[in-house]
Amino acid sequence: MKTNKLFMHLAAGALAVGLAGSAVAAEIAKPAGFPTRPLTMIVPYGAGGGSDQLARAMANSMDKVAGIKFQVVNKPGGGGTAAIPDFMLAPADGYTVMEHIDNAVSAYAKGDINENPATDWVPICTTQITFSQIYVRPDDSRFSSWDDVVSYAKANPGKLTMANLGKVGSMELVVMHQLQDALGIDVKQIAFDKPAERYGALIGGQVDVLFEQPGDVRSFLDAGTMKPVLTFLDERPDVFAEVPTHLEAGADFDALQRFRGFYVKKGVPADRLNFLQAACAAGFEEESYADFNRKKYMHLINSYRDTEGSIKLINGAVDTYRAMYKQLGIGG
Amino acid sequence: MVDFLAGTLALFGDFQTIMIFTFALFGGMLFGAIPGVNMLTLGAVILPFTIAMQPDHAIMVFATIYCAGVFGGAITAILFNIPGAPENAPTCFDGYPMTQKGEAGKAIGAAVSFSALGGAVSAVMMMAATPLIAKWAVTSFGPPEIFALICFGLAVSASVGAKTLWKGWMSIFLGLAIATVGTDPVGGIRRFNEWSLFGFETSSYYLSAGIHFIPVILGFFAVSEVLTQAQNIAQGTRERPKASMQLPTMAEFWAVRITAFRSMILGFFAGVLPGIGATLAAFLGYSQAVRWSKTPEKYGKGELDGVVASETANNAATGAAMIPLLALGLPGGALTAMMLGIFQIHGMEPGPLIFINSHDLVWVMFAAMFWANVAILGLGWIQTKTVVHILRIPFRWLAPGILLLAVIGAFALRNLLIDVWVMLLAGIVGYLLRRTGYSAAGIVLGLILGKLGESAFAKSMQLLDYSALGFIDRPIAAFLIIAAILTVVNSIIREIRATRGAKAATKMLMD
């Protein structure tokens, strides 16, 4: 029974998409002789993770709106750097697209990688931009709000533990450094190498607080096993109307954000690049992708940037990182 | 019980679901049994297809592949000394000697029966206690406890597969050293990424991905086995193992009951802890079987008990590994991480709510895992009768196939060419290691646990204010560390006594 319904749903969906797809595809002019075969989408993280899900969702919607087939290839390792040589080896013909996140930007700012994402690559588009939050356990009797966390941290210097991704100079650590500086508190960072391990560490009581983006812990928020106490954003988003922002908490700085987007190498012929840009723009608006982003809380702030906007985003982030690294004495 | 019946009905209720279940079962067994590729390869290949599937089908496929794949890897371990996956490595120790003795049928028969038994019992325990155990495992086992458990695991498994205790420890330490290549788990600092050799300097982002244990296993076991056999053929010393059909007798089954029970408990326990999983389970099961045996000298020479110990334990870990995934949304390995992705692609998030929100789906998955293990028992016997005949294929035809699949398997892991080079290098090293008495399995164990252990140790140190004494304040960690130390001391005393005894015996003879 359920099978049939779902199948019909799928069939109807496919039909609708097919019709819509051909309509939209007609609007997006395909350049002569491109693409004649499926494109490769490199994902520098493992199958099933946040980047992988985004890449597959976008590949799916770009197929629907522009008829571009993608072969998604995961090349995980080295915190997203191991995939870069293969991307750089591929010819700049538009057939190889790479998904990457702001980690590439901080890695460049620090000197871990030589490729500048804004100039050596061309960002086709950025399709996920999100803010960070700090989470606690709802059943933790010590804190029910951000104020409690701050007074606990002040009463017990160096005792408050936070699960974080520990890579030196990461977005997480830079933002936390800015926050601690502004509020005069001392939070002990516990460096984790696998993102999901941190969730267990918070729920299991191994650490006191967690730094993360809401889309990644949505299941825990829905299940009531985690609770946000601070939002790193200029104003409170509707969904988290009860949670104060870092500005309200007294920390006056522009918080770095997490962003994920799609890149090709510099030197891709202009007509092919234009086609990919148009396909990404239309793919972002496409219903299944919009749904996907909503589920990940990516609709709370404007999550889309075109090539120019992405370059601005990247350059702004590079400046912030470099200034912070100078202050912290890291990188080269 | 009602839930389980409903899940079973949903599983076998319509033709399409049965077809998918059967496909996953055969796929898992096949990919597990072909040297070079494994269930992870199959998982990655079919991941895109699951997007279009019904959610319960998609999850069920992966759960079934998981059960079938862990079993399938035992077959190549027994027939060719090539474990299909790291958790089958200890199966080689006694499984392959049995094949050489012409008892392949017996070894595979035991692997089939006890894989199915271990898996089925684990599935039942998973159904009974998922939410309860999950919370306990995550609350009680923080980084210090995980680190202590890894120490204990290394301590009890050190001598496994090596000629002497010292060579066993050397192998483990070599593995631990290899594990440091790549990116460090705390600061993301790259280690050993730049090389200079005879003035030729090179640096590559590739190495930032580190040395993965899968290509190392393929090299150590598959490639080096091909090289060894090639040498034997060239020297004319190779004897083709007899493809025997003789299956284990009831008396033999009864004789290994205690080993099977012990491995079941160890396997389930190791499986529950995220990230530890089936590999440590198999090594623990095997080393404890040797430890408590009245005739430990027989192991490694074709003892049925050794096959049972390893295979029961690694399959008992399968059901247990689902517990943290389902109840808390915490994947413990690569395949469970893919399953987490499938849940999310279909708009579900594993966690406490999944038992309420996706109740039916969870029970279809539980039922699939239980029946997959039952099916292994049935199909496994048929497979035993057929697969043993692979031994009749001349090795010169089999060898190129094994090498080809090993290359594909190494590359398919992360689509990085570095893994292929690592595999080929490990193949040569493994070939040279064979006669030295060092343990290839020990190196692999050191490599796997080295990465996990370093990460756990680094986190522990940060949590415990960089005081190693902090481990003593935590009862579980303290208990495991003390047990590890006692194990090491005890094994050293035994080893020295044994060496002295042997020396004294030689002296007596000389006199």
Q: Is the dihedral of CA B353, B358, B359, B364 positive or negative?
A: negative
From A192, A215, A240, the end of a domain falls on A240
Cα separation, A101 vs B214, whole angstroms: 27
**What is the predicted pLDDT for the residue at A50?**
84
pLDDT at A8 over 60: no
Rg (CA), chain A: 21
pLDDT at B165 over 70: yes
B71: tokens are 């079993």
Residue percentage of chain B with pLDDT more than 90? 15
pLDDT at B40 over 90: no
Cα separation, B154 vs B457, whole angstroms: 14
pLDDT at B52 over 80: no
pLDDT at A213 over 90: yes
Q: What is the mean pLDDT of residues B464-469?
A: 87
How close, in Å, is residue B462 to chain A by CA atoms? Answer: 6
Contact A117, A108 (CB under 8 A): yes
Phi and psi at residue A138, to the nearest 5°: -65, -25
Whether A122 and A148 share a structural domain: no
Whether A231 and A277 share a structural domain: no
Question: For residue A130, what is the enclosing H or E element?
Answer: strand A121-130
- How many independent structural domains does chain A possess? 2
Contact A188 B275 (CB under 8 A): no
**What is the predicted pLDDT for the residue at A3?**
45
Contact A196 B345 (CB under 8 A): no
How close, in Å, is residue A83 to chain B by CA atoms? Answer: 7
pLDDT digits (tens, 9 = 90+) for A223-244: 888 999 999 999 999 999 999 9
Q: What is the CATH number of the domain that holds A224?
A: 3.40.190.10
B117: tokens are 């038994």
Q: What is the mean pLDDT of residues B390-401?
A: 82
From A240, A274, A302, the end of a domain falls on A240
Cα separation, B47 vs A191, whole angstroms: 31
How close, in Å, is residue A146 to chain B by CA atoms? Answer: 22
Range 328-347 of B in CB contact (< 8 A) with A: 328-331, 334, 337-342, 344-345, 347
Contact B208 A192 (CB under 8 A): no
CA angle B256, B257, B261 (to 5 degrees): 120
- How many independent structural domains does chain B possess? 1
Strands B182-183 and B190-191: antiparallel
Contact B188 A79 (CB under 8 A): yes
Whether A273 and A126 share a structural domain: yes
**What is the predicted pLDDT for the residue at A331?**
61
pLDDT at A306 over 50: yes
User: Closest Cα partner for A202 from A178, A222, A227?
Assistant: A227
B351: tokens are 């966690």
B464: tokens are 């415990």
Phi and psi at residue B219, to the nearest 5°: -65, -55
pLDDT at B122 over 60: yes
The residues pairing with B201 across neighbouring beta strands, listed in sequence order, are: B196
Q: Which residue among B210, B328, B341 sits closest to A52, beta carbon to beta carbon?
A: B341
Chain A CB contacts of B337 below 8 Å: 46-49, 196
Cα separation, B214 vs B87, whole angstroms: 11
Which of A275-279, B338-342, B419-423 bottoms out in mean pLDDT, i.e. has the lowest? B338-342
Q: Which residue among A73, A168, A199 sits closest to B189, beta carbon to beta carbon?
A: A168
Phi and psi at residue A260, to the nearest 5°: -125, 135
ipTM of the complex, rounded to two decimals: 0.78
Cα separation, B490 vs A300, whole angstroms: 61
Phi and psi at residue A262, to the nearest 5°: -125, 140
Residue A245 in any domain: the answer is no
Chain B CB contacts of A192 below 8 Å: 455, 459
Residue A251 in any domain: the answer is no
Band the pLDDT of A17: cuts 50, 70, 90: very low
With the CA atoms of B14, B18, B20 and B22 taken in that order, what torsion angle do they form, in degrees rounded to the nearest 10? Answer: -170
What's the longest Cα–Cα distance across chain B?
79
pLDDT digits (tens, 9 = 90+) for B221-258: 888 888 988 888 888 877 777 766 677 788 888 888 99
Q: Which residue of B has its CA nearest to A44?
A: B414
Residue percentage of chain A with pLDDT more than 90? 68
Which amino acid, one-letter code, is at A108? Y
pLDDT at A20 over 50: no
Residue percentage of chain A with pLDDT more than 70? 91
A111-148 residues labelled b (16+ CB within 10 A) or e (exposed): ebbebbbbeebbbbbbbbbbbbbbbbbeebeebeebee
Band the pLDDT of A1: cuts 50, 70, 90: very low
Q: What is the CATH number of the domain that holds A307?
A: 3.40.190.150
Contact B460, B471 (CB under 8 A): yes
pLDDT at B326 over 90: no
pLDDT at A15 over 70: no
Look at B80 and A9; give whichever has higher pLDDT: B80
pLDDT digits (tens, 9 = 90+) for B192-221: 887 766 767 667 778 888 898 888 988 888
Global pTM reads 0.81
What residues contact residue A22 under an 8 Å CB cut-off, 6+ apart?
Answer: none
Question: For residue A299, what is the enclosing H or E element?
Answer: none
Cα separation, A300 vs A237, whole angstroms: 6
Residue A15 in any domain: the answer is no
Look at B351 and B408; give whichever has higher pLDDT: B408
Residue A5 in any domain: the answer is no
Q: Which residue of A has its CA nearest to B341?
A: A48
Whether A236 and A324 share a structural domain: no
Whether A166 and A231 share a structural domain: yes
Residue A6 in any domain: the answer is no
Interface check B205 vs A, CB under 8 A: yes
Q: For the residues of B254-301, what is the DSSP string, one character each?
A: HHTHHHHHHHHHHHHHHHHSTTTHHHHHHHHHHHHHHHH-S-GGGTTS
Q: Which residue of B has its CA nearest to A6?
A: B54
Cα separation, B108 vs B104, whole angstroms: 6
Contact A219, B350 (CB under 8 A): yes
Whether A218 and A274 share a structural domain: no
**What is the predicted pLDDT for the residue at A25?**
46
What residues contact residue B217 under an 8 Å CB cut-off, 6+ apart?
Answer: B83, B85, B86, B89, B444
Which amino acid, one-letter code, is at B357? N
**What is the predicted pLDDT for the residue at B428?**
94
Cα separation, B222 vs B82, whole angstroms: 5
pLDDT digits (tens, 9 = 90+) for B401-420: 888 888 888 888 788 888 99
Q: Which residue of B has its CA nearest to A201?
A: B142
pLDDT at A2 over 60: no
Chain B CB contacts of A13 below 8 Å: none
Whether A268 and A191 share a structural domain: no
**What is the predicted pLDDT for the residue at B57?**
87
Residue A292 in any domain: the answer is yes
Q: What is the mean pLDDT of residues B332-356?
A: 75
Angle, helix B440-463 to helix B277-292, in steps of 10 degrees? 110
Band the pLDDT of A316: cuts 50, 70, 90: very high
Chain B CB contacts of A161 below 8 Å: 463
**What is the predicted pLDDT for the residue at A251?**
93
From A240, A274, A303, the end of a domain falls on A240
Q: How many CB atoms lie within 10 A of CB A301?
A: 14
Can you give the residue range of the structural domain that contains A185? Answer: 133-240
Question: For residue B432, what is the enclosing H or E element?
Answer: helix B418-433
pLDDT at A317 over 50: yes
User: Closest Cα partner for B70 from B84, B82, B81?
Assistant: B84
Band the pLDDT of B29: cuts 50, 70, 90: confident
Please state, in angstroms and as integers, the Cα–Cα distance from residue A189 to each residue in A29, A278, B101, B138, B291, following that order. Answer: 51, 42, 57, 20, 42
How close, in Å, is residue A63 to chain B by CA atoms? Answer: 14
pLDDT digits (tens, 9 = 90+) for B469-498: 889 889 999 999 999 999 899 889 988 888
Whether A268 and A204 share a structural domain: no
Q: What is the mean pLDDT of residues B322-345?
A: 78
pLDDT at B168 over 70: yes
Which of B325, B330, B353, B455 to probe by mutation at the A interface, max A CB count within 10 Å? B330
User: Closest Cα partner for B411 from B193, B209, B225, B227?
Assistant: B209
Interface check B401 vs A, CB under 8 A: no
CA angle B3, B21, B285 (to 5 degrees): 80
CA angle B280, B286, B290 (to 5 degrees): 140
Can you give the residue range of the structural domain that contains B492? Answer: 2-392+399-510
- The burial class, CB within 10 Å (0-12 / 13-18 / 19+), for A223 is buried
pLDDT digits (tens, 9 = 90+) for A139-181: 999 999 999 999 999 999 889 999 988 788 889 999 999 999 9
Q: How many CB atoms lie within 10 A of CB A254?
A: 12
Residue A16 in any domain: the answer is no
Whether A138 and A196 share a structural domain: yes
